Every structure is written in structure tokens, then in C-alpha cells.
A and B are shown apart, each in its own frame.
Chain A
Amino acid sequence: MTLLRERGTRRPDVVVPRGRGSIRGPEARAGWLFVAPAAVLLALFVLLPVLMALWVSLTSWNGQGSPFTGRAPFVGVDNYTKLFTEDGLARQDFFTSVRNNLYYVVLVVPLQTVLALCLALVANQRLLKGRTFFRAAFYFPSVTSSVAISVVFLFLFANSGTVNAVLGLFGIDGPLWFSDSRGLVHLVLDGVGLVNLDAPPAALADHGVFGLSWWDWISGPSVAMCTIITLVVWTTSGTFMLMFLAALQDVPVALEEASLIDGANRWQRFRAVTLPHLRPVLFLVLTLGLISTWQVFDQIYVMSQGDPAKTTLTPAYLSYRTAFRSFDYGSGAAISFVLFSIIVVLTAVQRWLLRERRG
């Protein structure tokens, strides 16, 4: 993009010399020389493995010997069609994981963004005493190992753990967090008496798409998944708070004062001055959030391994399990590439939604 723009601003009367022997020639060569180490490292450790994985996803390699000799049978796009068109366990598991992750993303991304923004606004108050303390405290979960935090949450949400003990003080009989596979939407529908959990409406239960019934699709995140959602929102909002904080401190004081003179109240100032300034950071936070939530793995691996009843299965974990537990490396790689395209598409959509609208 920058290249194009540069060229656009160049004066038309300057003839740009081309090819070898140009003034810019040695410069370009020097440029390549400077980026060569980074480019080689990227090619070797990112591009090459990606291409290798792409090849593996087109084979039915079982993990014996190298997949790059003739011995790994080439199966074309079979691994991909198994995920989408063949009625079987592979497709069912994959779409169960997509459903779980979808609910996870839909809850985690807005929650962590809003929470991070609120924390940043609080930590940015000039009048607040002990600002540094709060900043450090909010940021602390982000720099702690996710495995350690996951284990702490396992204790917190144990059936006789702290959370249920606190709920018990209010006379609430807390759920069995990690063994409760009931979906939130199902529970709500059941609670208001619309449906019966044990006998779901036939219209929903008997029809469906991609191997899951409509009833399964609308389940919402399971109670077990909610604990993981809580954990992730709590841990990552610190990181994003820091980004918002940096952006907030960049908002020109003069602008704020100008709006004050114009008679804007607190909310108007936030809405019309602060928020527009935060747009690039907002985009960054949402994109990073979207990518990391679709790739959630370590919390699942430590806390639930996809249980209960597959309601915390995610594509990343499923890919790992398919490859390293079932020796079906081809399918595992295929799942990861589908996951990759989901992320790319969603990021593009989000970019389009957040584009600057003029006029």
C-alpha cells in the first residue's frame, strides 16, 4: 500500500530510471540484504512449515516415517470433504467444536473489549489515587502463566470450591461447573417454560445442518464453557487495557478542553471525542481478540479436554487430538486450515464493518 501511495505522489516530470544500473539499484539490493535474515527466518520457520502442513492435509499420513516420500497416500481434498459433506463422526465433531467456539467468541470478544475499555478509563483518571497500583493489578493476570491460572480456576469452580461456597451464602445451590454440559440458551428457554430440556421440540431436534440438529446449534455455551469464558475475559482484559490506556493518553488535551468550552457533557465528550480517537486501537483489540479466541487451546487442554459432553471442544483442540491422539495427521491439519480460513474471513468482515465511513 505504501509503495503505491508513494508512487502516486511522485511528480510526473521526474523520469524514474528502471532496471540495472539505476541510481536506486544498489539501494534496492542493500534493502534486500538487510531484510534477508528476517526473510530467510520467516520462510524457514513460518512459510515452509505452513506449506508442509498444507501438503500433510492432502494426505492420509499416519505418522509413520516422513510424509514427503511417496509412502504417505495422497487423498486430495478428502480430509476437507470429510469435515463438510460426509455424514459421520468427523463432521459432527468438527461442527460441534465450531459451534462451541462460536459462542465462546461471541461472548469473550465483546466482554473483554468493554471490560478492558472500562478498566483503561478508570486507570486513566487523573484524580485516581494509586493509579500505578491499579494498572499493575489489572495487568497482573495477563503476565501470569495461563496454565497456572487455569489450575487456580479449577479449584475456584470445583463443586465444593470457593465460587459455590459464596453462592451458598446467598442460599444458591451452585451448579457442578465442570460436569454441566447444559447450554445456557437451553437453560433459559427451559427456565421460562418455552421448552422441556428432556424432551426438546421435535421441529428443532429432528432437523439440522452439518450433522447437528437445530436444537444443538442453539444450545448456547455450556455451563462448563462459561467458566472458561470467565477465565479468559479476566486474564486478557489486562493486556487490552494497556493498549487502550496508551491510546487514551494520546488523546489531545486541547481537544477535550475545546469540547468543554463547547459545553459537551461527560458522555458527549466520551462519545464524540475519545471514542473516535480510539478507533484504530479498537480495531487492533477486536482483531487480536478475534484471532486469539478462535485459537483457544491451552485453557481447554488444561481444564476440560473437550468434556463434558464435547461442549468445550474447540477446533484447535480437536485438531490436536485428531492428529496426535488418533494418528490422523491429515484430518488434523485440514481442521487447522479450515480454522485459519475462518479467522481470515472474520477478520476481513470485521475490517469492513469498522471501516471509516466518510460523509
Chain B
Amino acid sequence: MRNRLRRRAPLAVVAAAALFASAACGSGFDDNDKSGSAQRSGPASLQILFGSSGDAETKALQEAAAAWASATGNKATVTPAQDLAQQLGQAFAGDNPPDVFYVDAVRFADYASVGALEPYADKISNVDDFYPALRQAFTYQGKLYCVPKDFSTLALEINTDLWAKAGLTGADVPTTWDQLTAVAQKIKAKGITPLALGDTRDRIGAFMVQAGGWITNADGTQATADTPENLKALQYVQSLLKNGLARYPKQLDAGWSGEAFGKGKVAMTIEGNWIKGALQNDFPNIKYTVHELPAGPKGKGTLSFTTCWGIAAKSKQKEAAIDFVEAMTKGEQQLAFAKAFGVMPSRQSVSQQYLAQFPNDQAFVNGAQYAQGPVNAPKMDSVLADFDTGLQKLATSDPKAILQRLQKNTEAALGG
């Protein structure tokens, strides 16, 4: 045995040497703060990574970037990501992030808390023009990091044919929870499924807002999950589910509520403005109207979803990057994007122009005034996924227990 060991020693030495050598090669991507913050001068060549909703968005962004590049004498390479979160994660880990990229409000706190984002917002003109709820979504520890590129809100969509079939008219559009229950019962009596409701916090959360609750406090520092307001909301949604007045999309054999709605399986659904494009593409014959969500015990409430233009803290061309974002968030540019792929401008100053072009979006735009953004705190991803798991089983489980669990996990995530 000893002899064998001795004979193996050279192998060990060689292996160790190989390891060290390759580890030394690896130091090529080590941090070097001096060069990291050094800014390049001369014409910039920006790398822009984004999660595209489809060809329309990709094309619109490529055109806008080309226009900016030729106007400023810089270069801009626009790359649609296959999986934005993963590609960004790898780019940060490799210390070679793109200069500009989309940051979903859901992920924002994770990026901001690890110092990946450049807080550039104060260099953008007329920042106060962006909707306050959207600015809040991109504020971390009191500092606005990036500016929203557009936003969406949830509203109530009604299938006009099924609505009429149930003997309902325009005057019956529900504006309170009680009315929602009442019309749902009338629709159900006709053998139609009343409401398709997504089984996640991103839909059911709207009821929590209407009841005056939310998962965390405004600045995302405290867990406020286990409250009577939230309980009231979950109990209400549970009653809808239990009585067959609402169904989750999976029960309707649909990937999401919009699909069930488009197939004419339900009379109502709660979705955001992205449903317009989806219905136009997949179910062009469906007739529907859009209304604000029914108000709860504490008034109107909806959820907003938004994405900002993130600039990497490690970018070597921050000035050009900020100039690019400035150009992309200009009112006219946002209106052009709105026309191209159906998003709502994040600047309040162009909301009237937007509504002039898209009068049917009144309900979505109105939602911006009372909308709640996503949970804005780092390390909440698995906690919220766990909450979604609870919501999937809401019909048969105790709402109080779901909220207690959410409270416990949120406290652990925020405290840690």
C-alpha cells in the first residue's frame, strides 16, 4: 500500500499543479475595481439585453436603438434574451454584464441589494413624471435606482356574448365584491363558469389590496401578511372558489386565464393589458369589454407590473447608457412602443395622448392611481413561490394558516 501511495504522489502533484494553473487562469475574471469603474471615452458600443414579449417588441427596440445610435454616433447592439434572469445571473457572475438590460420589478430588489445596479435615475429628465407607484417599485433603501420603461395593471374583462346570455347588461358590471358575487351567481345559474382567476399572488393579491392589506409594508421592511385585511380577502376568494363562482385556469384546461377567456369558457377574467394582444392574436373573434376591478371593503385596488431600464454598476460606458435610457423613456418614444407592442407609457404626461389612441384602455390606465407594485424586497422569491403554492390549494385549506406561513417566511427573509 505504501508503495502505491508513493507511486501516486507524482500524479497528485501533477493534478494539484494543473488545478493551481487553471485557477490562476481563472483569475482573469477577478474583480479589479479600478478598471471596473473606469469609463471609456470616445464613441460607445452599448450591449443591451432584454426579455422580449415577441417579434414586435424586438423589432421596435432594434429600430429605436438604431435611431439612437445614428443620432449620437454610438453603437448599440440589442440582444433578445432566451432566459433573461439566468443570462443576467451568469453575466454578473462572470463580471461581464450588458450595459443596459430589463429589470423586472419582481427581481429588482435582488439586483439592487447585491449592488448590481447603477442608481442613475436622478440624471434622467423630469423623473417625477413617472407614476409614483412605479417609482416606488424601483426604490431600494430610499433611493430610486432606475426608471420604468412601461407598465401594466390588472382589470376585469367581460365576455359580452356570455354576459348577454346570462341576461346581464352594461349596468350590471360589478363595482363591489357583493355585486361581483351576485352577477357570478346569475352567470353560474345559466351553466356558464363566471370567472377565471390566476392562482398566484399576482392576481389574488389584488383582492388583498382591495381589502386594505398587502404582504409587506410600503418600503418592504416589515412583514404584514398575517392581518385581518388579508384574511378577509382570502376568505372572499375562497368563497368564490368553493361555490364554483371562480375557477383556476388549470381547472379550465388553460395555461392562463386569458386562454380560458379567449376560448369562451368563462364570462369574466382578471388580467392585465397584455390580454389585448394575446386575444387579438389567438382569439380574434372574441368580443369583450374592460372595466376597473370591483372595489373591496377598503376601496379600489389593483396590481401593477413594470420593468425598468437597468444599467449595470460595472458598465464602462455609463454616460452613453444613461443617454440611451433617456431616449427610450421619452414620451414620444414610449408612445411609439405602445403602438408597436401594446404597452402603457410610464410617464403621466403622455397618458392623455395614449388614451386618445387607445380609448379602450381607460380601465388599465385608471388603475395606475391606486395600484400596488410587486413585493419590493430581496430574497423573497422562494417565499412568494411558497405563498403561490398555498394559494393553489386555497379552495380546500385554511386561509389563516396560509397567511401565518407567509408571515413566518417573510419575517425570516426580511430579517436575514
Chain A contact residues, CB within 8 Å of chain B: 3, 18, 28, 32, 39-40, 43-44, 47-48, 51, 62-69, 71, 88-90, 93, 158-160, 176, 178-179, 181, 198, 307-310, 321-322, 324-329
Contact = CB atoms under 8 A, between A and B. Distances in A.
Given A63-B93, A66-B29, A309-B389, 14 more contacts: A39-B11, A44-B22, A47-B15, A48-B19, A48-B22, A63-B89, A66-B93, A68-B27, A69-B31, A322-B382, A325-B85, A326-B110, A326-B379, A329-B93
Contact of A179 (B19, B93, B251, B379): B251
Contacts of A3: 4
A178 B250 contact: yes
Nearest to B409: A89
A179 B393 CA distance: 10
A181 B392 contact: yes
Nearest to A44: B22
Interface of B: 3-4, 7, 10-11, 14-15, 18-19, 22-23, 26-27, 29-31, 85-86, 89, 92-93, 95, 110, 114-116, 248, 250-251, 253, 379, 381-383, 386, 389, 392-393, 396, 409, 412-413
B201 to A, nearest CB: 14
Contact of B15 (A18, A43, A65, A326): A43
Shortest Cβ-Cβ A-B pairs, 7 listed: A179-B250, A159-B253, A62-B114, A65-B31, A326-B381, A63-B93, A89-B409
Nearest to B15: A43
B389 A327 contact: no
14 contacts: A28-B7, A43-B15, A43-B19, A44-B18, A64-B115, A66-B93, A69-B31, A198-B396, A307-B389, A309-B392, A322-B382, A326-B110, A327-B89, A329-B93
B394 to A, nearest CB: 11
A321 B22 CA distance: 28
A69 B22 contact: no
A88 B416 CA distance: 12
Nearest to B412: A88
A18 B2 CA distance: 13
A309 B393 contact: yes
Nearest to B110: A327
A69 B14 CA distance: 24
Given A18-B3, A326-B381, A327-B114, A63 B92 contact: yes
A12 to B, nearest CB: 16
A71 B7 CA distance: 39
Contacts of A329: 93
Given A43-B18, A62-B114, A66-B30, A179 B248 contact: yes
Counting chain A CB atoms within 10 Å of each CB, the highest count among B14, B26, B89, B248 belongs to B89
Contacts of A179: 248, 250-251, 392
Nearest to A88: B412
Contacts of A64: 92-93, 114-116
B38 to A, nearest CB: 16
A324 B251 contact: no
A198 B242 CA distance: 14
Contact of A66 (B31, B89, B389): B31
Contacts of B392: 179, 181, 307-309
B89 A40 contact: no
Contacts of A159: 250-251, 253
